[in-house]
A and B are shown apart, each in its own frame.
Chain A
Amino acid sequence: MSPIVKLIAQRVALGVGLLLAVSVLIFAGTQILPGDVAQSILGQAATPQALANLRAELGLDQPAYVRYFAWLGGILTGDLGTALTTRQEIATTLPPRLWNTLFLAFWAAIVAVPISIVLGLLAVRYRNGPIDKAISGFALASTSLPEFFIGYLLILFLAVKVQWFPSISTVYDGMPFLAKLHAIVLPALVLVLVVLAHMMRMTRAAILNVMQSAYVETAELKGVGQFDIIRKHAFPNAIAPIINVVMLNLAFLVVGVVVVEVIFVYPGMGQYLVDHVAKRDVPVVQAVGLIFAAVYIGLNIVADVAGILTNPRLRHPK
């Protein structure tokens, strides 16, 4: 077996182990939420009789470890369980929401990743000059403003004043592709503005770091142009940290967009999770938690492996 395949297999196995540990944490975490499922489902106006009926029906009387292993067994066989509140299969209600989240994250990433890397390169090329300062200033400002503030600003100007884009981004099955894209312009724009600075600054820092090296100086002395130095010598050597920060931001785009979803009424996973946490719908919270954890761990494995593949020293260990 080639060392690369072995390495990847190792990482994936580690990831699976980590995911298992996370599943224990998620399960334990959902057990210590205050309040009670039955009370949350039936609300303030619930009679003690109705509460008792519901509790018995949901099987909340069994011990926690029994429920954990039943749950884990279900997940390993592809059964995410049934939502307590709606009595619907989670495996059928969750995928559309996940798909929506990935759709929004994908388009935000498609815009944000190239722009931030190009801006980072430009900032390095014109470092400490007005272009660098302008790029950094803009990116830092946009990332310092809270998401909801940027969201409301965009709504005010682009949805209410000039009415180019809708302020609510409800998407649904059977909606034409272009209509979907049009609907998500504003939330995608907010996400781009939020993640841009981090990626751009890290790209700039990583490349600048490499620019201090002796071989860059050599390249300068032999007369290579500034752009070529960055493109041929600095960027390939800075790619591992850049991939890392890109992956981190991709993970954020998937798991961290609750506020944006609320503001733009986007039917993604975040809103789905919050609704079910509020109702103490534990199976759904657990399923979503596990998916989020899998996304994080998966993207980190990708970053890890990509980092190794781009580094000859790690690729060919002695």
Chain B
Amino acid sequence: MSNELEFLSRRVAAGKLNRRDFLGRAAALGVSAAFANSLLSSAAQAQTPVKGGLLKAGLQGGESSNVLDPALNLSQVTFNFGKCWGELLVEMSPDGTTLENRIAEEIGGSSDAKTWTMKIRKGIEFHNGKTVTAEDVKATLERHGDPNSKSASLGILAGIETMKIDGDAVVVTLKEANADFPYLMADYHLVIQPNGGKDNPNEGISAGPYKVAVNEPGIRMGGEKFANYWQGDRFGHAAQVEIIVINDATARTSALQGGQVHMINRVEPKIVELIKRVPGVTIQNVAGRGFYPFNMFCDTAPFDNADLRMALKLAMDREELLQKILFGYGSVGNDFPINSAYPLFADDIEQRKFDPEAAAAAYKKSGHSGSILLRTSDVAFPGAVDAAQLYQQSCAKAGITIEIKREPGDGYWSEVWNKQPFSLSYWGGRPTQDQMYSTAYLSSADWNDTRWKNPDFDKMVITARAELDEAKRKAMYRDMAVMMRDQGGLIVPFFNQYIDATGKGVQGWKSNPAAEMCNGHALLMCWLEA
């Protein structure tokens, strides 16, 4: 009972449960109102960060081949560790849809959304004692945006035409208007480094709350509090942080249960219910933007047939897949790549449902016969092989024969994904709708993994990108979504959730739909109860 009360009072403090409900639950547990009230105030006090201590995370997604260079930063461990030592221009706030300024004090755009002025905050210090200047910011963007760079941000910076320094500001001129430019600067690779990291990108120096103290790739990463961090009252409560690489899911949960780490990422949906029962462990789940698509090439037979594509969409039982693959920890997709975790999402688009009769009719109309080859692999997403089999069964109900080919995980991303006409994949989502559409659904996009080449759609993407009026933009995005849903080559069974867990005494957690572990800020914003 005390565990439950403690849990409930923490929920109130975290804003997830209101006071009235809490008192009701407490009464149901047989606790007097006075005692319940006193519990509440102690929980609220506990929300004042406790400084010091060693905060440890056990994370999936680290290899011995990891490097500190933020440009090459792709897996979870480097992502989370990058947030510990790196500082960006802007960050996504915990609501996941608005921006918070960091090194940029202000970002202002011209009325045509082509010229953006980023004013650099004064008095921020790098770990090596130098002051962060506009030159460092410009050099960082230059390094990542260089056509010869290996940076994962190369694509989003390709739209920059010129950059110049104007006093304490960097002025960026774009080739084409982009109202989302500030969001691009929240990309986690764009860690501001002294002279942009041009001298030594791997030295791990930026202006984040922790200095790199331990860098043992694939084993552990550790940070020591940076005394001169510019907003030390908000972030970086623990004196030291440590990330231990634990790629095995069972090892991760047992390390959390055994108290060897304070937080873990990637709790498997199938064990969430079991982990919830462990005293002191709290599941932290939040709906994200990641989704697990079935991709059809719209320009390759037989998927160049719109009726066949529609038949394959109607033959998917999304509810069943959501329950059996994600155990309900997600939300059903609607055959376009956007969900409510995005800004400017239109929530009035009709949900596509499993309809074997309509699917059979569309299949008949398409004139296709014979089996359809679907490629899947364990690495596409957890449960991808099972998902393909469930889909095969639901298609059979509509009279469509699916043949499944299980591909080896090695080389899946280079040989199958974006190469074969019908395969399973994943997308992590992007900060804005424009970025998601531009990355994968423009005719010219490198990663157009559904070969969706529609000039009208391209035009809509470009127009919406330049539109500064939010209401108009929202309407445009709605039209694009409907078009993609009804004509595109994308079947979306579900959007996933980020499921993390915290152990005993961990406070200050604020989930963020942008990414796992509070968008990588868990080690910075959490603290250990005294």
Residues of A within 8 A of B147 (CB): 49
Are the CB atoms of A262 and B149 closer together than 8 Å? no
Is there a chain B Cβ closer than 8 Å to A138's Cβ?
Answer: no
Is there a chain B Cβ closer than 8 Å to A45's Cβ?
Answer: yes
B414 contact from A40, A263, A275, Cβ within 8 A: A40
Residues of A within 8 A of B261 (CB): 168
In chain B, positions 140-156 with a C-beta closer than 8 Å to chain A are 147-152, 154-155
Are the CB atoms of A86 and B65 closer together than 8 Å? yes
Are the CB atoms of A168 and B148 closer together than 8 Å? no
Is there a chain A Cβ closer than 8 Å to B300's Cβ?
Answer: no
Residues of A within 8 A of B72 (CB): 41-42
1/0 per position for A28-59, CB-CB distance to B under 8 A? 00000111100111111111111001100000
Give Cα distance in the complex from A152 to B21, angstroms.
40
Are the CB atoms of A43 and B64 closer together than 8 Å? no
A40 nearest in chain B by CB position = B414
- How many chain B residues have a CB neighbour from A under 8 Å? 46
Are the CB atoms of A85 and B65 closer together than 8 Å? yes
Are the CB atoms of B150 and A42 closer together than 8 Å? yes
Is there a chain B Cβ closer than 8 Å to A239's Cβ?
Answer: no
1/0 per position for A254-280, CB-CB distance to B under 8 A? 000000001111010001100110110
1/0 per position for B83-114, CB-CB distance to A under 8 A? 00000000000000000000000000000000
Give Cα distance in the complex from A48 to B63, angstroms.
24
Are the CB atoms of B65 and A262 closer together than 8 Å? no
Are the CB atoms of A47 and B154 closer together than 8 Å? yes
In chain A, positions 41-99 with a C-beta closer than 8 Å to chain B are 41-50, 53-54, 83, 85-87, 93, 97
B250 nearest in chain A by CB position = A152
User: Main secondary structure on chain B at its contact with chain A?
Assistant: loop
Residues of B within 8 A of A47 (CB): 154-155, 446
Residues of A within 8 A of B413 (CB): 39, 43-44
Give Cα distance in the complex from A152 to B253, angstroms.
11
Residues of B within 8 A of A45 (CB): 74, 152, 447
1/0 per position for B437-459, CB-CB distance to A under 8 A? 00000000011000000000000
Query: Which of B131-139, B216-224, B384-392, B488-496 lies at the interface?
Result: B216-224
Q: How many A-B residue pairs have CB under 8 A?
A: 122
Is there a chain A Cβ closer than 8 Å to B248's Cβ?
Answer: yes
By CB atoms of chain A within 10 A, which of B64, B259, B413 has the most? Answer: B64
- How many chain A residues have a CB neighbour from B under 8 Å? 48
Is there a chain B Cβ closer than 8 Å to A215's Cβ?
Answer: no
Query: Which of B239-247, B370-378, B460-468 lies at the interface?
Result: B239-247
Given contacts A33-B410, A86-B67, A163-B259, contact A168 B246 (CB under 8 A): yes
Given contacts A50-B151, A53-B148, contact A34 B251 (CB under 8 A): no
Given contacts A167-B255, A170-B219, contact A262 B150 (CB under 8 A): no
Residues of A within 8 A of B251 (CB): 155, 167-168, 262-265
Give Cα distance in the complex from A249 to B447, angstroms.
48
Give Cα distance in the complex from A39 to B415, angstroms.
10
Residues of B within 8 A of A111 (CB): none
By CB atoms of chain B within 10 A, which of A34, A170, A265 has the most? Answer: A265
Chain A min CB distance to B46 (Å): 25
1/0 per position for B34-53, CB-CB distance to A under 8 A? 00000000000000000000
Residues of B within 8 A of A40 (CB): 414
Are the CB atoms of A281 and B65 closer together than 8 Å? yes
1/0 per position for B53-97, CB-CB distance to A under 8 A? 000001000011111000010100000000000000000000000
A50 nearest in chain B by CB position = B150
Are the CB atoms of A50 and B254 closer together than 8 Å? no
Is there a chain B Cβ closer than 8 Å to A15's Cβ?
Answer: no
Are the CB atoms of A44 and B417 closer together than 8 Å? yes
Is there a chain B Cβ closer than 8 Å to A227's Cβ?
Answer: no
Residues of B within 8 A of A152 (CB): 250
Give Cα distance in the complex from A263 to B247, angstroms.
9
Residues of A within 8 A of B63 (CB): 275, 278-279
Is there a chain B Cβ closer than 8 Å to A224's Cβ?
Answer: no
Residues of B within 8 A of A86 (CB): 64-67, 217
Are the CB atoms of B258 and A159 closer together than 8 Å? yes
Given contacts A34-B408, A43-B74, contact A170 B220 (CB under 8 A): yes
Residues of A within 8 A of B218 (CB): 267, 271-272, 275
Is there a chain B Cβ closer than 8 Å to A156's Cβ?
Answer: yes
Give Cα distance in the complex from A160 to B251, angstroms.
11
Residues of A within 8 A of B417 (CB): 44
B425 nearest in chain A by CB position = A44
Give Cα distance in the complex from A233 to B68, angstroms.
62
Are the CB atoms of B259 and A36 closer together than 8 Å? no
Residues of A within 8 A of B245 (CB): 265
Chain B min CB distance to A28 (Å): 17
In chain B, positions 458-516 with a C-beta closer than 8 Å to chain A are none
Is there a chain B Cβ closer than 8 Å to A126's Cβ?
Answer: no
In chain B, positions 205-234 with a C-beta closer than 8 Å to chain A are 214, 216-220
Chain B min CB distance to A157 (Å): 11
Residues of B within 8 A of A264 (CB): 251
Chain B min CB distance to A12 (Å): 32
Give Cα distance in the complex from A93 to B202, angstroms.
16
Residues of A within 8 A of B151 (CB): 50
Chain B min CB distance to A273 (Å): 9
Are the CB atoms of A35 and B411 closer together than 8 Å? yes
Residues of B within 8 A of A48 (CB): 446
1/0 per position for A101-120, CB-CB distance to B under 8 A? 00000000000000000000
Chain A min CB distance to B42 (Å): 28
Are the CB atoms of A34 and B410 closer together than 8 Å? yes
Give Cα distance in the complex from A53 to B65, angstroms.
19
Are the CB atoms of A160 and B154 closer together than 8 Å? no
Give Cα distance in the complex from A33 to B414, angstroms.
13
B58 contact from A85, A160, A168, A275, Cβ within 8 A: A168
Given contacts A43-B74, A159-B258, A160-B258, contact A172 B67 (CB under 8 A): no
A54 contact from B67, B74, B150, Cβ within 8 A: B150
Q: What are 26 A-B pairs at a CB distance below 8 A?
A: A35-B415, A36-B414, A44-B413, A45-B447, A47-B154, A50-B151, A53-B150, A87-B202, A155-B254, A159-B254, A166-B255, A167-B258, A168-B261, A170-B244, A172-B216, A172-B219, A262-B251, A264-B251, A265-B248, A265-B251, A275-B63, A275-B64, A275-B65, A276-B64, A276-B65, A278-B410
Chain B interface residues toward A at CB < 8 A: 58, 63-67, 72, 74, 147-152, 154-155, 202, 214, 216-220, 244-248, 250-251, 254-255, 257-261, 408, 410-411, 413-415, 417, 446-447
List 5 additional contacts besides A43-B74, A264-B251; criterion CB under 8 Å.
Answer: A168-B251, A168-B255, A271-B218, A276-B65, A279-B65
Chain A interface residues toward B at CB < 8 A: 33-36, 39-50, 53-54, 83, 85-87, 93, 97, 152, 155-156, 159-160, 163, 166-168, 170, 172, 262-265, 267, 271-272, 275-276, 278-279, 281, 284
